[in-house]
Structure 1
Amino acid sequence: MTERSPRPWRRRLRRLVAGHGGPDARFGARLVVGVVLTALAAVPFSLALVLVESRWAPLHRLDQDVAERLHRSALDHPTWVRVLDFLTHVAWGPLTMRLLVAAIVLWLWRRRALRLATWAAVTATASGLVGLLAKHVVERARPHLPDPVAHAPGFSFPSGHAMTATTSCAVLLLVLLPLVPRSWRPLPWALAVVTVLGVSYTRVALGVHWVSDVVGGWLLGLAVVTATTLAFEAWRGDVGRRRTTPAQGLEPEITTPVPEPASRPRS
């Protein structure tokens, strides 16, 4: 009994996996992989959304217990409430985060790193739009506490502050890490983690978000950054640049200023 030859689609798949098939096929394969990885990155947020929508008892108890404990502490420490209000609206507020990203975009544009500037702008904009859409889809009410120490408009899940901090810090890290000496790189990572955790704490401590809201903001923010970063990496692969890791930043080449184009001689 003779062995049948592989079917044509199987041969094409093997060539594709092996790196053959031309630039279009390789680019298509990268896009497929990007879509799959983005979907996997969105799984944790989807799970959190299901648990919130179903009012899963352990999560509901955690939200209630933490909110009540932090609210009692806030009522007993009015000065601390003023500090939290400053941190959540000024130091770590969405406007501050977006202005930092806008400054990075302008700096990249002046350096003629146009694709990296576009990635940063698209990531920040997508974060805001996706977060707003998710809020209106879920329509979760904010905490209702006796003698509230703060108020916030709109719906609760996911936390816009937590999501904005997550995506903004990710943009700043992935753009600026190549400019930081290797021995100093743990410092910006630590600052990013403190910023995300800090602003998330202020939202729960002020009684305007549940714990699950800020976790949802982290997860959805990471999913957005994953999607845009994979698209950027697909472009790098398409133009023949090597792949990078988060520890290297998105475009290590940013450390070398792009030379100005030579002016044409006048005729």
Structure 2
Amino acid sequence: MSTHRPPTLAPAGQPSWRRRRLDPDHSLGLRLTLAATAAFLVLVPFALLTLLVLGAWAPLHRLDTAVTHALHGYALDHPAWVTLMRIWTEVFAPMPLRAVALLLVIWLLRRGARRLALWATTTMVVGGLFSPLLKLLVGRDRPELLDPVARAAGYSFPSGHALNATLAAGVLLLVFLPFAGRGAARVALWVAALLLTVVTGLSRVALGVHFTSDVLGGWLLGVAVLAATTAAFTSWRAHTGLRPVRPTRDGVAPEVERHPGSA
């Protein structure tokens, strides 16, 4: 007489898939799950904002229009402000930021940090491709003003300046955090990254070439891309046996400061 063992979802003594994903002892699964969740949570508001823009939601349109006209009126009365915004938006335009990122990649390759260079390249390239693609898909026209102080070609949503500033600031921050120590230099690095991101986006609204929601969309998409590529890189680190890191505290590759060849 034979006995039949009742079917089980997992071998005896082995935790379920869900338990493995959330188990702190299985750091790779846990970090992948948390990072994927974080990226998804950022994409949700971006997707919602995109739908509101596509649907020409009246409250969003009124808000965008009110902010644009208020800032345009200020710009007409303050030429020096316009000059400052024009200089900022040109210095921190997508192409100069990509050139800085390229110099960073070359520097990392010379230090032997090939994986870190690949992460920086992937983040900038993948994120940069989203902007023109989404502009074509959404097809939103730029603000129309009677006496514009600046002009820009192409569609409006999302802001390429805001997206690329977010990507570049995030890449530079996460690469150089290990060099900043724990004091004022770390604070200065965070402040510089935030200023680059925020002021670049605001300059586009101040000049009347983007709506506020365009800039917000660029910021959200940039953070989502950073979260996704950072998640992939940190899981890669864990798979190769490097110690776990908290990117916003340690950077993505803290060993690059002392042992660049292992990053």
TM-score range, shorter chain: 0.7 to 0.9
CA RMSD for the aligned pairs?
A: 2.5
Q: In structure 1, what is the equivalent of residue 128 of structure 2? A: 128
Matched to 2:15, the amino acid is R
State the shift of 1:79 in Å: 2.7
- Secondary structure of 1:247's aligned partner: helix
Q: 1: CA distance between counterparts of 2:28 and 2:188? A: 35
Q: In structure 1, what is the equivalent of residue 162 of structure 2? A: 162
Q: 1: CA distance between counterparts of 2:10 and 2:32? A: 19
Unaligned runs of 5+ in 1: 261-267
Instruction: Write the deviation string for residues 25-59 of structure 1: whole angstroms up to 9, x where unpaired.
Output: 98678656654443233112111111212222222
Q: 2: CA distance between counterparts of 1:43 and 1:32? A: 16
**Contact 2:112 / 2:261 at 8 angstroms: preserved in 1?**
no
Matched to 1:241, the amino acid is L
* Matched positions, count: 252
Instruction: Write the deviation string for residues 46-83 of structure 1: whole angstroms up to 9, x where unpaired.
Output: 11111212222222111011100111111122232122
**Contact 1:16 / 1:29 at 8 angstroms: preserved in 2?**
no
Alignment CA distance shift 1:145-1:237 (3 Å)? same
Of residues 96-105 and 133-142 in structure 1, the stretch that sits farther from structure 2 once superposed is: 96-105
Matched to 1:220, the amino acid is L
- Secondary structure of 2:252's aligned partner: coil
Q: In structure 2, what is the equivalent of residue 265 of structure 1? A: none
Alignment CA distance shift 1:6-1:34 (3 Å)? farther
1:1-267 alignment, distance < 5 Å? 7-9=8-10, 14-16=15-17, 34-90=35-91, 92-183=92-183, 184-245=185-246, 246-258=248-260
State the shift of 1:15 in Å: 4.9
Q: 1: CA distance between counterparts of 2:110 and 2:67? A: 46
Q: 2: CA distance between counterparts of 1:178 and 1:249? A: 6
Matched to 2:173, the amino acid is L
**Contact 2:20 / 2:30 at 8 angstroms: preserved in 1?**
no
State, as a whole percentage, how many aligned pairs show the same letter. 44
**Contact 1:16 / 1:26 at 8 angstroms: preserved in 2?**
no
- TM-score, with structure 1 as normaliser: 0.86
State the shift of 1:164 in Å: 0.4
Q: 2: CA distance between counterparts of 1:36 and 1:73? A: 41
State the shift of 1:248 in Å: 0.9
Q: 2: CA distance between counterparts of 1:83 and 1:26? A: 47
Q: 1: CA distance between counterparts of 2:155 and 2:78? A: 27
Matched to 2:74, the amino acid is S
Of residues 27-36 and 127-136 in structure 1, the stretch that sits farther from structure 2 once superposed is: 27-36
Q: 1: CA distance between counterparts of 2:146 and 2:261? A: 61
- TM-score, with structure 2 as normaliser: 0.87
**Contact 1:127 / 1:221 at 8 angstroms: preserved in 2?**
yes
Q: 2: CA distance between counterparts of 1:157 and 1:12? A: 52
**Contact 1:127 / 1:164 at 8 angstroms: preserved in 2?**
yes
- Secondary structure of 1:149's aligned partner: coil
